[in-house]
Structure 1
Amino acid sequence: MSVQFYVGLHQPADAQHFELCCISINRVRRRKKPVAGRVLVDSGAFTELNLYGGYRHGVEDYAAELFRLHTAGVVDIAAAVAQDYMCEPFMLAKTGLTILDHQRLTIERYDALNAELDRLFNGKCPFPVMPVLQGYAPTDYVRHVALYGDRLTHGMWVGVGSVCKSNGDPEAIVEVLSAIHRVRSDLLLHGFGVKQTALMHPGVRELLATADSMAWSFAARKQGRDGNSWHEAKAFAVRVQAAASRAVEAWQMPLPLWRIAA
Structure 2
Amino acid sequence: MTIEIIVGLPHLSEGSIIAQARALQQTALISANGLSRWSERRGWREWAGWRLRQLQNARGLAALCLDSAGFVAAARYGGFPWSLADYVALAAAYPFRWWASADYCVEGEIARDREEVLDRLSRTIRANRDCRRLAEDHDIVDTLMPVIQGRQPVDYERCIEALWESLTPGSLIGVGSMCRRDIHGPDGLIAVIDHLDQILPAGVRLHAFGVKGSALPFLLPFQHRIASIDSQAYGVSARQAARRAGVSKSDHFVAVHMARWVSAQHAQLASRPLRLPHHRPADPAPTPSEPWEAAISQARAEIRDLIESGDLDHDEMTAPWVEQWAADIYREQLGG
Common topology (TM > 0.5): yes
Describe the shift of the 1:142–1:117 C-alpha distance in structure 2 as closer, same or farther (beyond 3 A): closer
Q: Is the 8 A contact 1:203 1:253 kept in 2?
A: no
RCO higher in structure (CA 8 A, sep ≥6)? 1
Percent of residue pairs bearing the same amino acid type: 24
Partner residue of 2:218? Answer: 201
Deviations 1:51-74 (A, max 9, x none): 11111111110111222234xxxx
Query: When the two structures are superposed, what TM-score results if normalisation uses the length of structure 1?
Result: 0.83
Q: Which residue of 84, 87, 96 corresponds with 2:103?
A: 84
Query: When the two structures are superposed, what TM-score results if normalisation uses the length of structure 2?
Result: 0.66
Give the number of aligned pairs: 248
Deviations 1:209-262 (A, max 9, x none): 21000111111212226374222112101211231244646x58726447xxxx
Matched, 1:224 2:242: yes
Partner residue of 2:316? Answer: none
Partner residue of 2:51? Answer: 30
Q: Is the 8 A contact 1:48 1:56 kept in 2?
A: yes
User: What is the distance in 2 between the residues matched to 1:31 and 1:55?
Assistant: 19
Deviation for aligned residue 1:181: 1.0
Q: Is the 8 A contact 2:190 2:219 kept in 1?
A: no
SS of the aligned residue for 1:87 comes to coil
User: Computing the radius of gyration over CA atoms, which structure comes out larger, 1 or 2?
Assistant: 2
Describe the shift of the 1:117–1:134 C-alpha distance in structure 2 as closer, same or farther (beyond 3 A): same
Q: Is the 8 A contact 2:209 2:230 kept in 1?
A: yes
Q: Which residue of 120, 127, 131 corresponds with 1:109?
A: 127
Q: Is the 8 A contact 1:167 1:195 kept in 2?
A: no
User: What is the distance in 2 between the residues matched to 1:158 and 1:221?
Assistant: 31
User: What is the distance in 1 between the residues matched to 2:177 and 2:89?
Assistant: 27
Moved more, 97-106 or 2-11: 97-106
Partner residue of 1:74? Answer: none
User: What is the distance in 1 between the residues matched to 2:70 and 2:279?
Assistant: 32
Describe the shift of the 1:98–1:202 C-alpha distance in structure 2 as closer, same or farther (beyond 3 A): closer
Structure 1: gaps (5+ residues): 71-76
Q: Is the 8 A contact 2:220 2:269 kept in 1?
A: no
Q: Is the 8 A contact 2:135 2:144 kept in 1?
A: no
Q: Is the 8 A contact 2:217 2:272 kept in 1?
A: no
Superposed, which structure 2 residues align to 1:104-253 within 5 Å?
Answer: 104-121=122-139, 125=140, 127-167=142-182, 169=184, 172-186=188-202, 187-202=204-219, 206=223, 207-224=225-242, 226=249, 228=251, 229-246=254-271, 248=273, 251=275
Deviations 1:136-159 (A, max 9, x none): 111211222222221222331111
Describe the shift of the 1:257–1:117 C-alpha distance in structure 2 as closer, same or farther (beyond 3 A): closer
Describe the shift of the 1:166–1:194 C-alpha distance in structure 2 as closer, same or farther (beyond 3 A): same
Note the aligned Cα RMSD (angstroms). Answer: 2.7
Q: Is the 8 A contact 1:10 1:23 kept in 2?
A: yes
SS of the aligned residue for 1:55 comes to coil
User: What is the distance in 1 between the residues matched to 2:221 and 2:78?
Assistant: 30
Describe the shift of the 1:116–1:244 C-alpha distance in structure 2 as closer, same or farther (beyond 3 A): same
Deviations 1:92-150 (A, max 9, x none): 249x96222211211211221222122123xxx27511111111111211222222221
Matched, 1:8 2:8: yes
Matched, 1:45 2:49: no
User: What is the distance in 1 between the residues matched to 2:142 and 2:263?
Assistant: 27
